[in-house]
Amino acid sequence: MIKKQWKKNQNSEHIVGPCKWCQEELVNTQAFVAFVDKSKACIKCYRKSGHMLPFWDKENKFNE
Ligand SMILES: [Zn+2]
């Protein structure tokens, strides 16, 4: 039996999914937000949506 293997290029980018708002395909090398429901969004849309990034929020509090 021959195992089918996906090409694994560790340094190459791959598509993680479409942005839930603009439907733009997101790649792992760009900044994106993953939600608990497995949907994803680009940072641009996420910021436009008015949400705060939880980890950014934490960082900001760290600097206070
Ligand atoms: Zn987007």
Q: Tell me how far the alpha carbon of residue 41 lies from the centroid of ligand 1, in angstroms.
A: 5
Show the domain range for 20.
15-53
Dump pLDDT digits (tens) for 33-44. Answer: 898 899 999 988
Q: Tell me how far the alpha carbon of residue 45 lies from the centroid of ligand 1, in angstroms.
A: 4
Residue 19 lies in a domain: yes
Dump pLDDT digits (tens) for 11-20. Answer: 788 999 999 9
Written as six digits, the tokens of 54 are 């939880």
Band (pLDDT 50/70/90 cuts) for residue 63 is: very low
Number of folded domains that form the chain = 1
Residue 5 lies in a domain: no
CA distance 39 to 45: 13
Residue 29 lies in a domain: yes
Q: Tell me how far the alpha carbon of residue 28 lies from the centroid of ligand 1, in angstroms.
A: 14
Residue 48 lies in a domain: yes
| pTM, 2 dp | 0.58
Residue 33 lies in a domain: yes
Q: Tell me how far the alpha carbon of residue 4 lies from the centroid of ligand 1, in angstroms.
A: 33
CA distance 41 to 64: 28
Per-residue pLDDT at 25: 95
Residue 61 lies in a domain: no
Residue 6 lies in a domain: no
Q: Tell me how far the alpha carbon of residue 21 lies from the centroid of ligand 1, in angstroms.
A: 5
